[in-house]
Amino acid sequence: MSGANPNTPRSTVNRLSAENVTLAYDQRIIAEQLSVEIPDNSFTVIVGPNACGKSTLLRSLSRMLKPSRGRVLLDGQVIQSMPAKKVARTLGLLPQSAVAPDGITVADLVGRGRYPHQGLLRQWSAEDERVVQESMHRTGVAELAERYVDELSGGQRQRVWIAMALAQQTPLLLLDEPTTYLDIQHQIDVLDLCAELHETQGRTLVAVLHDLNHAARYATHLIALRGGRVVAEGAPNDIVTAELVEEVFGLRCQVIDDPETGTPLIVPAARKARTRTEAAAS
């Protein structure tokens, strides 16, 4: 079940990968000897139970966390050895801890995504202006351009942050739990937006998601982590089974076809059914 995605032959070199990385905060080791490849042009979703190391993996892929062993490669180079702005033109990250400065407008915040394309004597080109407008249109926040970020709803704010990351114009975009703290309709809204960006712009997206059903529906490539180790990876249709969910999350369930999309849909086992089988077993 584990191993490479059959859709991505090993002969092609993917742009972003982690090779045998050991990830640790101070002395606390989160993952050891972890290897992950992000298939180019995929919408990769990393899932796993709390504290399985999924956000940590995302942080190392975006060079926020330096692996204590092993290396993260971007376009064949060790990511830490590359100039910061060059990485920022290739790989964008939307972290969970984004704070909008006091009294900043939407247009201003989205404009800050242009930083890696700017310099001391190239502070705001016509291209910057165009990309910012386009990013705001694409994420549906153009009409909010002159509003203050702190006046917006959670869903709108998340769209603004995604617009900022889009304005960075990176072929790779990493999102750390982009749907956390959002109502269900805004969660779907944000995920639809991600899927659209992936399909229409050919960007490679990597997201950490909590909701396994969202992951199975939207991902083209799924990486299931448990205890800092890859349990399975591949297309959701190929890998999501009741056994996998039990192995990764310790949850008994049925996997049925999503009536909307045909992707796997996880239905957790009911309490009663569980007690009945337990009774039968004893």
Partner 1 sequence: MKTRSTSRAVRTPGGLSVRLDLRALIVVGLLLAAACAAGVALIGTGDAKIPASDVLRTLAGNGTAYQDFIVNELRLPRVLVGLLVGASLGLGGALFQSVSRNPLGSPDVLGLSQGSTAGALVVIVLMSGSATQVTLGALIGGLATGLAVYLLAWKQGVHGYRLVLVGIGVNAVMTAVNGYLLTKADLVDAARAVVWMTGSLNGRDWDQVWPLLAMGAALVPLVLVNARGLRMTEMGDDVSNALGVRVQRVRLVLVVSAVLLTAAATAAAGPVGFVALTAPQLARRLTRSPGPNLVPSLCMGAVLLVAADWASQRVFGADQLPVGVVTGVLGGGYLLWLLVAERRAGRI
List of residues contacting partner 1 (CB under 8 A): 62-64, 84-89, 92-95, 97-105, 107-109, 112-113, 115-116, 118, 120-126, 128-129, 146, 148, 168
Whichever of 70 and 95 has its CB closer to partner 1, that residue is: 95
Query: Residues 92, 117: contact at Cβ < 8 Å?
Result: no
Whichever of 98 and 235 has its CB closer to partner 1, that residue is: 98
Whichever of 6 and 119 has its CB closer to partner 1, that residue is: 119
Q: How far is the CB of 172 from partner 1 (least distance, A)?
A: 11
Whichever of 28 and 272 has its CB closer to partner 1, that residue is: 28
Q: How far is the CB of 145 from partner 1 (least distance, A)?
A: 10
Q: How far is the CB of 177 from partner 1 (least distance, A)?
A: 13
Distance CA 18, CA 38 (A): 9
Alpha-carbon separation of residue 122 from 28, 45, 71, 112, 128 (angstroms): 43, 36, 33, 14, 10
Residue type for position 270: A
Whichever of 63 and 203 has its CB closer to partner 1, that residue is: 63
Q: How far is the CB of 149 from partner 1 (least distance, A)?
A: 10
Q: How far is the CB of 15 from partner 1 (least distance, A)?
A: 17
Distance CA 247, CA 230 (A): 12
Alpha-carbon separation of residue 98 from 35, 87, 95, 101, 160 (angstroms): 28, 19, 6, 10, 11
Which neighbouring-strand residues pair with 44? 206, 221
Distance CA 196, CA 156 (A): 17
Token reading at 118: 């700017």
Q: How far is the CB of 65 from partner 1 (least distance, A)?
A: 10
Whichever of 133 and 213 has its CB closer to partner 1, that residue is: 133
